């Protein structure tokens, strides 16, 4: 297992393997998006309280889940880069940050669009919303460090420290609806026991959640391959590649 991880962490091997995986991941992503949007928009019935407006959930909820998932990936890769100094971990973390920021922004915007008809306002300083906004600022901080510091290794170390410090915000986002009096809806899918969401709505939600994950994996590999080429441009294998 360790030998495989060492081989996978090689920029040359990663570049080749990622190139083979991207078309398959992209195809699965496209199929999941088509199925999820079809079932979410045309098959799932209107909600008995929210009517048709609840359908924004099929974008909002997966985006919110991904905003936290990607941040955990960045923090994990940051820790690996700090401890074992694996170059590929730094590349994965740097390539993930703009994607995580995008998911967080989508979650905040779609939440506001849903909140206006449901709460009567675009924004409230609710525990879940505020901690999600802080997450967006953390992403901006990681991106800024990677851009502002010219030395890639120093940039990776600085952004890894920020990511590891900021990871405390993830459980705050998740448990905020339980810890504080909040307007935000509580858990429906991850509840202990049966989820309090009808199966006709749960299926498209899960399809969209997997679609978002495959989208992240596909675009991450594309960005990471480009970053590998940039960082390894003076390596012999890159020179041979561009001949």
Q: What pLDDT is recorded for position 36?
A: 98
Q: Confidence band (pLDDT; 50, 70, 90) for 192?
A: very low
Q: Would the pLDDT of 227 be above 90? A: yes
Q: What pLDDT is recorded for position 50?
A: 83
Q: Would the pLDDT of 151 be above 60? A: yes
Enter the pTM of the model.
Answer: 0.93
Q: What is the pLDDT of residues 64-102, one digit of tens each?
A: 999 999 999 999 999 999 999 999 999 999 999 999 999
Q: Residues 15-23: what's their mean pLDDT?
A: 96
3-state per-residue secondary structure call for the chain: CHHHHHHHCCHHHHHHHHHHHHHHHHHHHHHHHHHHHHHHHHHCCCECCCEHHHHHHHHHHHHHHHHHHHHHHHHHHHHHHHHHCCHHHHHHHHHHHHHHHHHHHHHHHHHHHHHHHHHCCCCCCCHHHHHHHHHHHHHHHHHHHHHHCCCHHHHHHHHHHHHHHHCCHHHHHHHHHHHCCCCCCCCCCCCCCCCCCCHHHHHHHHHHHHHHHHHHHHHHHHHHHHHHHHHCCCCHHHHHHHC
Domain ranges of the chain: 23-42+52-181+192-242
Q: Residues 229-242: what's their mean pLDDT?
A: 89
Q: Would the pLDDT of 216 be above 80? A: yes
Q: Would the pLDDT of 191 be above 60? A: no
Q: What is the pLDDT of residues 100-127, one digit of tens each?
A: 999 999 999 999 998 888 778 888 888 8
Q: What pLDDT is recorded for position 56?
A: 94
Q: Residues 149-163: what's their mean pLDDT?
A: 97
């Amino acid at each position: 297992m360790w030998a495989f991880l060492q081989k996978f962490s090689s920029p040359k091997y990663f570049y080749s393997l990622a190139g083979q995986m991207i078309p398959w991941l992209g195809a699965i992503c496209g199929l999941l998006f088509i199925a999820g949007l079809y079932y979410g928009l045309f098959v799932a019935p209107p909600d008995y309280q929210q009517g048709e407006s609840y359908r924004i959930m099929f974008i909002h909820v997966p985006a919110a889940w991904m905003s936290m998932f990607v941040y955990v990936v960045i923090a994990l890769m940051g820790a690996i880069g700090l401890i074992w100094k694996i170059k590929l971990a730094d590349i994965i973390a740097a390539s993930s940050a703009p994607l995580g920021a995008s998911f967080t922004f989508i979650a905040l915007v779609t939440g506001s669009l849903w909140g206006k008809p449901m709460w009567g306002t675009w924004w409230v300083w609710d525990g879940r919303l505020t901690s999600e906004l802080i997450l967006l600022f953390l992403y901006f901080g990681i991106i800024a460090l990677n851009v502002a510091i010219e030395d890639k290794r120093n940039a990776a170390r600085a952004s890894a420290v920020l990511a590891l410090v900021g990871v405390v915000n993830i459980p705050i986002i998740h448990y905020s609806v339980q810890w504080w009096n909040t307007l935000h809806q509580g858990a429906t899918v991850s509840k202990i026991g049966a989820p309090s969401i009808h199966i006709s709505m749960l299926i498209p939600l899960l399809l969209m959640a997997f679609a978002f994950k495959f989208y992240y994996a596909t675009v991450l590999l594309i960005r990471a391959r480009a970053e590998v080429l940039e960082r390894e441009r003076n390596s012999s294998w890159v020179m041979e590649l561009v001949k």
